[in-house]
A and B are shown apart, each in its own frame.
Chain A
Amino acid sequence: MSDLILQVKDLQKTFHLKSGHVVKAVKGISFSVERGEIFGFLGPNGAGKSTSISMLTTQLKPDGGEILLDGDSVLQDPITARSRIGVVAQHNNLDRSLTARENLLFHARYFGMDPVEAEKKADEYLEKFGLTQWQDDYVRGFSGGMAQRLKIARAMMHTPEILFLDEPTTGLDPNYREILWENMLELNRKGTTIFLTTHYMEEPERFCHNIAIVNQGELKAMGTADQLKAMIPSRNILSLKLDKVDDRLVDAAAKLPGVASAKVQNGVLQLYLEGKPDFDGVIRWTEDKQRTLQNISLSTRTLDDVFVYLTGKAMNSAN
């Protein structure tokens, strides 16, 4: 039997802007997260990820829906919910008037922790996140990577059952991203459930047990990376950059032998193949159609392709 730590049912949020515009940021999202997993909430900027995570962490009241933390309503008792979750915001919200160690210790006191235990925990997390030598420095001088690790250490101080991270690796250089992932995987191995949002594709594919894909406030698909990729009818995708692409050409491409379906993404014709690619046949076909082939490439399907397949747009141009 599965052990669900978080259940979200029909979550909704609409913003009424001063200009009179109504923005439906989250349009009835439902999903659940199992205890002990790393859950990836994936979508482009503006998909409703941050709005959703704000509601899950009691910072924003939903207009409708229900959030259950281990079976208890978060909306009815947000105070208790806050004692059981850890939140790492996207931006740097560390306390700049305090040192690194004080950031952890004051957090512990805001959460009503025993002082002796707080000192012990602070030592443990400073060590674990490689910050011991900086513990008495003010955090205003910290680099982005150090600040990010301290933010996670702070959120872990009160031993949350589930840790929410909003775009934890955005803006960090690749080296720091790897270090941060090692830290997060370690926390997960020790039993912390991790919920993270990201607009990077390769990270959830490597690290997340389950992934939800959101776009324009709706849940498009959910499952393991392999399950999501299996939604695309083929393993291989042939991308053709042509001088001209129109609907008739796409229709014709979809009927080629060995092609399961065809789509255009950013002006590039994507052929989803049933089997192995037939380069010669495809090149001959473009010549028959009197198109100039500028580039041809073969890739195996990725989460990026799943996103394109579901929305018709690439992740980074889907705003």
Chain B
Amino acid sequence: MSEERKNSVTQQAFWAMVQRDLLAQWRDKKEFIFRVGMLPLVLIVVYGYVLPAIGLLPETFPTQMFAGMVGMSILITGIHGTAIPFTMDFNNMHEIEDRLQAPVSRNVVAYAKMLVGIIEAFIGGLIVLPISLIFMGSRLQLGMTAGEIPLLLLVLVLIALASATLGLLVGTVVKPPQIAAMFPGFLMPVVFSGAIFFSWYALDPVPVFQKLVLLNPLVYANEALRYVMTPQIRSMPLGYSLLGLVISSVLMGRWGFKRFHAMVEGDK
């Protein structure tokens, strides 16, 4: 094949692979909404509505956790959206084999899966908005102006990228029998140490924990969102949190692609 032909086939194959995954997910949309919506719904109802209403948490708590809910939803949905199909396609169903046999670099298969993870991640972030408005609307105090929307978009893109690269890594490491262990073993620690309910600076009294959570990409995601959406709460300087997201994406992406190549063992 000529180089032009290869490029044209690569483009066509990439979009076909993305469309295939979106179609498969669309056919499973009830599962998707349940998977993406349930965790933020439960957390928002309990921590954003019930606990402040009965006086166990302060009235300002919904504002404190709002950015964290958005960040968590994007990150977790993106990881799920990339990792689970990868694991199942590769190990159980072998469905991915037809795509790996396409006359394109096998990286195209991974890029397509990651783009789908990113798209799903954004949908995950959007789902949080109506839930938040319904249950915490009266207590929410956002301090964002329209001029900050481009900055917000940049942050959202970086978070989605971090989630897709993390999803690639998780998807190529975890085997189907281990999926059940992923929730308590991976997602729970990520969620509860991810600066959702607390801002990073609030951890000053527990310095060891404060250092440990820096390993969690969700911390950078939530601190960056907090900086943009609720600036009245003290958060990590934006430069640090953006850098954290970039470093996480690069490290996880490189490691993930290495694992992916080991799995397909074909060409570049």
Residue numbers of A with Cβ under 8 A of B are 57-61, 78-80, 82-83, 87, 89, 91-98, 103, 106-107, 109-112, 154
Contact = CB atoms under 8 A, between A and B. Distances in A.
Contacts of B97: 89, 93
- Classify the secondary structure of B's interface with A: helix
- Classify the secondary structure of A's interface with B: loop
Contacts of B93: 93, 96
A91 B94 contact: yes
A27 B13 CA distance: 36
Q: Which residue among B20, B93, B100, B103 has the maximum number of chain A CB atoms within 10 Å of its CB? A: B103
Nearest to A60: B265
B266 A78 contact: yes
Contact of A110 (B6, B24, B99): B99
Contacts of A112: 5, 8-9, 12-13, 103
A97 B23 contact: yes
Nearest to A86: B101
A273 to B, nearest CB: 48
B17 interface: yes
Q: Which residue among A107, A109, A154 has the maximum number of chain B CB atoms within 10 Å of its CB? A: A109
B27 to A, nearest CB: 6
A79 B95 contact: no
Contact of A95 (B1, B95, B266): B95
B102 interface: yes
A175 to B, nearest CB: 26
13 contacts: A59-B100, A59-B266, A78-B267, A83-B1, A87-B101, A94-B95, A95-B24, A109-B12, A109-B13, A109-B16, A110-B102, A110-B104, A112-B13
Contacts of B15: 109
B24 A82 contact: no
Nearest to B96: A93
Contact of B98 (A58, A60, A95): A95
Nearest to A89: B97
A186 to B, nearest CB: 23
A97 B267 contact: no
Given A80-B1, A93-B97, A111-B103, A61 B12 contact: no
A140 to B, nearest CB: 10
A60 B13 contact: no
A109 B99 CA distance: 10
A295 B17 CA distance: 61
B265 A96 contact: no
A61 B266 contact: yes
B1 A79 contact: yes
Nearest to B104: A79
B32 to A, nearest CB: 13
B232 interface: no
Given A79-B105, A82-B101, A109-B13, A96 B95 contact: yes
Nearest to A95: B95
A134 B134 CA distance: 46
